[in-house]
Amino acid sequence: MNKGKVDALLGIVFGDEGKGKVVDVFTPGYDVVARFAGGPNAGHTIIFEGKKFVLRSIPSGIFDEGKINIIGNGCVIAPDLFMAEAMELETAGYSIKDRLHISKRAHLILPTHRVLDRAYEAAKGKAKVGTTGKGIGPTYSEKASRTGLRVGDILEGFTAKYQALKARHEQILKDLNYTDYDITAEEEAWLKGIEYMRQFPLTDTEVELNEVLKAGKNVLAEGAQGTLLDIDHGTYPFVSSSNTVSGGVCTGLGVAPNTIGEIFGIFKAYSTRVGSGPFPVELFDETGDKLREIGHEYGAVTGRNRRCGWLDMVALKYAIMVNGVTQLIMMKADVLDTFPTIRVCVAYEKDGVTLNHMPYNTEGWNAVYKDFPGWQTDLTKMTSPAEFPAELNDYIKFIEQETGVPVTIVSVGPDRAQTINMEK
């Protein structure tokens, strides 16, 4: 960690890499943890001492009682879901109200944004994005079209602004012929959520963060989603609606590029994707089913089956390039414990053409694999890299050689304790 700097921990594939777990593990080394993009489409799982939490909007640094957590201006927030999430933490005994600060510039997800999300998906027919249905796309679209409602509006003429925006949404839905919805109960919970949010510091978090940095303290920026779901660099249009890459840290928190320190790029020892879109390494056979079963690859937010496949070095190298990754973190190595052979996609192939770099559109490209012998050893109780089997060391060495970036953490289980620092 770097004093006076913002380090970023970013998912560099299709999300669900294990960001929540590692942010929780890293938090003792930081003064502030901040989310800079996304909203309740995220589902970050943290497991310790037999307890499990899934966080959506609240940063994963919240379990360290002394630390400030920030929901930055680049985020979108659903007051009803936020209230449910925050109350779960309060019920579990965590005091959060004074140390969870929310940017006045973050945008609010209205109940009608969620209806619009469903309506736009329905209108797409077969080309559905497979969104989480949390209103993310409509809320970010509204931000870009300068008609959105922001957290700061809770403090300034809120009701009139809300009613006007809701009426606008109702008109759009009518024009789309999408009238079969009822938000009465949802709206009631949402308005309660607005009142609940007033109990938290709603602040100019960009000013706060810059003061923290000026005082020589350090910040951990927690990514949501992953690089291949980034609105600019992902597999458009099958992406989310925010910048999930390192550039998004600056715009999503209001910190300058020269404040950025380490960029931790987190990935699984294999690949998953949830939702639609091209996925060249996807396995449709029993190996894919085995990865899903052993890795419990079911969505933390929607419960959907995650699509599974082998590690994709072409995608990984692209993500490392656009993010400027300085350290790699490999998660879920233990999921591969029983596989006799482990494959890695090293190139894409289509109609006799081989590509070593990520094309503009990955649709229709097939994976070219390199095979590695599996370690066939239980990694879950290991605590030091000295215990690692030779096959795992070879696998890691290959990734480091191909990417030119060191793998500094290897995770061997979902618990906080199952995290191995490679430098020790």
The residues, any chain, with a CB within 8 Å of residue 222's CB and separated by 6 or more, are: 9, 19, 20, 23, 33, 34, 35, 36, 44, 59, 60, 61
Check residue 245 for interaction with ligand GDP (CB under 6 A). no
Q: Which is nearer to ligand IMO, 137 or 413 (CB)?
A: 137
Site pattern 331..350 for ligand GDP (x: CB under 6 A): xx-xx---------------
- For residue 237, is the peptide bond before it cis, meaning its omega torsion is within 30 degrees of 0? yes
| Residue 276 C-beta: closest distance to ligand GDP, Å | 18
| Residue 4 C-beta: closest distance to ligand IMO, Å | 27
Contact criterion met (CB below 8 Å) for 105 and 152: yes
With CB under 5 A as the contact rule, the residue among 106, 149, 300, 399 that binds Mg ion is 300
Handedness of CA 367, 372, 376, 378 (dihedral sign): negative
Name the CA radius of gyration of the chain, rounded: 21
| Residue 123 C-beta: closest distance to Mg ion, Å | 27
Active-site annotation holds for 378: no
Judged by beta carbon distances under 5 to 8 A according to partner kind, the member of ligand IMO, Mg ion, ligand GDP, none in contact with residue 39 is none
Q: Which stretch binds ligand GDP (CB under 6 A): 39-47, 74-82, 283-291, 389-397?
A: 39-47
Q: How far is CA 347 from the centre of its chain?
A: 26
Judged by beta carbon distances under 5 to 8 A according to partner kind, the member of ligand IMO, ligand GDP, Mg ion, none in contact with residue 331 is ligand GDP
Q: Which two tokens stand for residue 92?
A: 């579990």
Judged by beta carbon distances under 5 to 8 A according to partner kind, the member of ligand IMO, Mg ion, ligand GDP, none in contact with residue 334 is ligand GDP
Binding site for ligand IMO (CB under 6 A): 11, 14-16, 38, 41-44, 129-132, 134, 136-137, 224-226, 229, 240-241, 274-275
Q: Which stretch binds Mg ion (CB under 5 A): 36-44, 280-288, 358-366, 375-383?
A: 36-44
Judged by beta carbon distances under 5 to 8 A according to partner kind, the member of Mg ion, ligand GDP, ligand IMO, none in contact with residue 274 is ligand IMO
Rounded to the nearest 5°, which phi and psi values hold at 407?
Answer: -90, 110
Residue with tokens 């089913």: 289
Check residue 43 for interaction with ligand GDP (CB under 6 A). yes
Q: Which of 7, 24, 31, 44 is catalytic?
A: 44
Q: For residue 184, give Cα distances in angstroms to 41, 181, 188, 196.
A: 22, 9, 6, 19
From first CA to last CA, the distance across the chain in angstroms is 16
Q: Extract the runs of DSSP E, i.e. beta strands, from 149-292.
A: 202-203, 219-222, 260-268, 271-273
Contact criterion met (CB below 8 Å) for 103 and 206: yes
Check residue 288 for interaction with ligand GDP (CB under 6 A). no
Q: For residue 139, give Cα distances in angstroms to 43, 75, 117, 247.
A: 18, 10, 9, 20
Count of positions (residues) in the chain: 424
Rounded to the nearest 5°, which phi and psi values hold at 122?
Answer: -60, -40
Active-site annotation holds for 107: no
Q: Which is nearer to ligand IMO, 62 or 213 (CB)?
A: 62
The residues annotated as belonging to the active site are 16, 44
Binding site for ligand GDP (CB under 6 A): 11, 15-21, 42-45, 47, 296, 300, 331-332, 334-335, 411-414
